[in-house]
């Protein structure tokens, strides 16, 4: 046992899921569909985690078709590919939603299910960013990076909030419900319209609106993709800052204040919880710095780098959920950031040296500072690319070891299996206990 200590194991038996979903779409449309139609298609012998994993396989299939038809995220795919992305993501959402219902009806609810569910969602988040970028023909650049940042931040903050409040809260508009349904619609519409190149037209002109005299030319000519970035920014603020009350549509405190109040109510130090956001923002300072210093990665090898960044986030989220389940201290470190730190320092050396050299040529006296700077061990070519793939391999190994260790530890302690039902529920057993 590496990630769960022996003295924390008994707390797994104290686990009780707590979640609130304010989504009207979920309440009146999706949940009745799942309860009355979908769940009946799964046999009682099927483990909830197997349903989750089966749903994720559709996303993996989508990702593989993306790598085949649009590895650079910038060319149109065959029409059927976009339709398959829409169908695959909808099936993933459906399977991900009914695994909890399956757990309840088979009496298999437990901490492993929440960990497994969140872990799969964390991997899916970064994959869907790449699929969306490919559907929009965004290519490998800063727009894709911005979408990745917004998506991972939303997921990280939601998990951080759950750790401190002990309740998973989904608002009126949330990523797991409205967000995924929106993506499904975008994928299907992209297929219908003939490909991602459609989204690079001016939105207002495309829908037939004439330019008003008061509207700046720049705004009128904004592409669909630019409007999406604007809309996505609003949704990011809405999901991470503004929360909806389940009684009325009033503003509640943002996540930070929500966490502070929850800890204060339990008599715990409140603002120290904000330190839990440091791993995410530390990583992203390094991510942006590295991509700025290495344009070859940003514009030619962003796909594997995105996978690496996604695993950094998945590792943090997985450890947060594990700490939540075992009531352990919040994990404020992430070992997968260290290679990124080295890469930034390595890439910054020549930049600093060249800047100081230019100052010297301009006649600016710097004294001892003129000796700063160092040569890059990786350079700015093929070794940088190899380094990124090395980071991907390292991240896969570290995260896989975490997943294996935590799953086997929980399964051994609770005497359960992960992907199959070890102790099937028998209604007669309850009757015997009651008598």
Active site residues: 118
Distance in angstroms (rounded) separating the CA atoms of residues 28 and 20: 15
Question: What string of H, E and C letters represents the secondary structure of the chain?
Answer: CCCCCHHHHHHHHHCCCCEEECCHHHHHHHHHHHHHCHHHHCCCCCCHHHHHHHHHHHHHHHHHHHHHHCCCCCCCCCHHHHHHHHHHHHHHHHHHHHHHHHHHHCCCCCHHHHHHHHHHHHHHHHHHHHHHHHHCCCCCCHHHHHHHHHHHHHHHHHHHHHHHHCCEEECCCCHHHHHHHHHHHHHHHHHHHCCHHHHHCEHHHHCCCCCCCCCCHHHHCCEHHHHHHHHHHHHHHHHHCCEECCCCCCEECCHHHHHHHHHHHCCCCCHHHHHHHHHHHHHHHHHHHHHHHCHHHHHHCHHHHHHHHHHHHHHHHHHHHHHHHHCCCCCCCCHHHHHHHHHHHHHHHHHHHHHHHHHHHCCCCCHHHHHCCCCCCCCCCHHHHHHHHHHHHHHHHHHHHHHHHHHHHHHHHHCCCCCCCCCCCCHHHHHHHHC
Question: C-alpha distances in angstroms, 383 versus 138, 380, 390?
Answer: 26, 7, 10
């Amino acid at each position: 046992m590496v990630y769960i200590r022996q003295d924390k194991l008994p707390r797994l038996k104290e686990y009780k899921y707590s979640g609130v979903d304010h989504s009207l779409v979920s309440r009146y449309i999706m949940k009745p569909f799942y309860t009355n139609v979908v769940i009946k298609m799964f046999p009682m012998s099927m483990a909830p985690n197997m349903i989750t994993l089966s749903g994720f396989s559709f996303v993996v299939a989508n990702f593989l078709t993306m790598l085949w038809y649009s590895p650079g995220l910038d060319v149109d795919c065959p029409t059927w590919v976009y339709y398959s992305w829409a169908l695959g993501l909808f099936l993933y959402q459906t399977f991900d939603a009914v695994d909890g219902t399956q757990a309840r009806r088979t009496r298999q609810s437990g901490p492993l299910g929440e960990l497994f569910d969140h872990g799969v969602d964390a991997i899916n988040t970064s994959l869907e960013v790449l699929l969306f970028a490919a559907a929009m023909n965004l290519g490998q650049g800063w727009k894709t990076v911005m979408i990745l940042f917004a998506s991972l931040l939303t997921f990280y903050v939601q998990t951080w909030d759950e750790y401190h409040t002990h309740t998973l809260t989904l608002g009126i508009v949330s990523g797991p419900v409205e967000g995924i349904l929106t993506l499904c619609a975008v994928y299907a519409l992209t297929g219908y319209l003939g490909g991602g190149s459609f989204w690079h037209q001016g939105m207002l002109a495309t829908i037939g609106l004439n330019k008003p005299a008061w509207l700046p030319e720049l705004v009128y000519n904004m592409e669909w993709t630019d409007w999406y970035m604007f809309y996505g920014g609003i949704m990011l603020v809405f999901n991470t800052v503004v929360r909806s009350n389940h009684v009325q549509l009033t503003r509640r405190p943002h996540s930070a204040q929500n966490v502070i109040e929850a800890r204060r109510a339990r008599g715990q130090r409140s603002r120290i919880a904000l330190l839990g956001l440091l791993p995410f923002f530390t990583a992203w300072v390094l991510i942006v710095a590295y991509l700025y210093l290495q344009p070859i990665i940003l514009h030619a090898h962003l796909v594997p780098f995105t996978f690496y960044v996604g695993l950094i986030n998945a590792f943090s989220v997985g450890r947060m959920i594990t700490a939540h389940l075992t009531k352990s201290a919040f994990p404020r470190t992430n070992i997968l950031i260290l290679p990124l730190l080295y890469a930034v320092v390595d890439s910054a050396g020549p930049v600093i040296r060249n800047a100081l050299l230019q100052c010297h040529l301009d006649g600016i006296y710097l004294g001892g500072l003129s000796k700063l700077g160092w040569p890059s061990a990786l350079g700015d070519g093929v070794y940088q690319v190899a380094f990124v793939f090395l980071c991907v391999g390292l991240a896969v190994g570290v995260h896989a070891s975490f997943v294996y260790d935590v799953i086997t530890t929980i399964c051994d302690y609770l005497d359960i299996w992960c992907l199959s039902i070890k102790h099937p529920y028998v209604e007669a057993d309850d009757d015997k206990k009651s008598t």
